[in-house]
Amino acid sequence: MSETYNVGKVRRVKISTNGLLINKKASIGIGAMIIFIAMILVAGITASVIIQTMNSLQQQAMKTGEETAKDISSGLKVTHVAGYSNGSKITQIAIFLALLSGSDDFNMTYVDISLSDTAISAVLSCNSSCFSSNVSGGLFGTLNASNLSSTTYGIMVVRDIDNSCSSSTLAINDDDLIVLLVNTSKCFSGLGTRTKVFGNVISEYGIGGVISFTTPSAYIDTIMDLQP
């Protein structure tokens, strides 16, 4: 049971028999507050997910940018290629290698050579046991080419101011100049006259050095320039 009383001239208020006010508008207000709080919670969770996603994308973009810059700004260049002839074929070639300006350091352990004479393709990796810190015996007399196989090349150091390139580290940096020795008699059974040879010095990242030359029409000199 309840009774209704006029409270001034504003509204009527229902009072139950136990003296409690009866106002149904309060329940509507509580429902609206619950919905409002739920909306705030959902918005907070959504914002948190968006922020985490943006952070992840930012980190990935920065990493991709660093790797791209590294690939573009770093690399190797072939400055010169010389060959050694036994009179009928070129049995060895020496590839002069340096870093591009501003390039990061390279570990020659992870640098390969890809070579082809249009008939045979060969991929050569570094043989650290066939190494010399100088070229005191001459370009083709310092290392014993017979120690090289059809899949390996040797290294001679021409210029290394900070002594970064050794048989244990094989690291080259700015201003270093090294020579990669290839036994072509093992790779191609020697290179005959008028033979097109092409390939790359392939690094683990960055720009690789280009090898491209054609052997002379006659072998007059024992040592000859193949690629300027």
Per-residue confidence (pLDDT) for residue 37, from 0 to 100: 81
Per-residue confidence (pLDDT) for residue 18, from 0 to 100: 54
Buried b (16+ CB within 10 A) or exposed e, 55-94: eeeeeeeeeeeeeeeeeeebbbbbeebbbbbeeebbbbbb
**197: helix, coil or strand?**
strand
For tokens 């509204």, name the residue.
11
- Give, for 68, the enclosing helix (H) or strand (E): helix 25-73
How confident is the model over 12-59, as pLDDT tens digits? 555 555 555 555 555 566 677 778 788 888 888 888 788 878 777 777
How confident is the model over 127-186, as pLDDT tens digits? 999 999 999 999 999 999 999 999 999 999 999 988 889 888 899 988 899 999 999 999
How confident is the model over 75-121, as pLDDT tens digits? 899 999 999 999 899 999 999 999 887 788 889 999 999 999 989 99
Nearest-angstrom CA–CA distance, 150 and 186: 5
> Could you tell me which residues come within 8 angstroms of residue 161 by beta carbon, excluding any fewer than 6 positions away?
175, 176
For tokens 């052997």, name the residue.
215
pTM of the model: 0.70
* Element counts in the chain: helices (H) and strands (E): 2, 14
Asked if pLDDT for residue 2 goes beyond 60, the answer is no
Per-residue confidence (pLDDT) for residue 46, from 0 to 100: 82
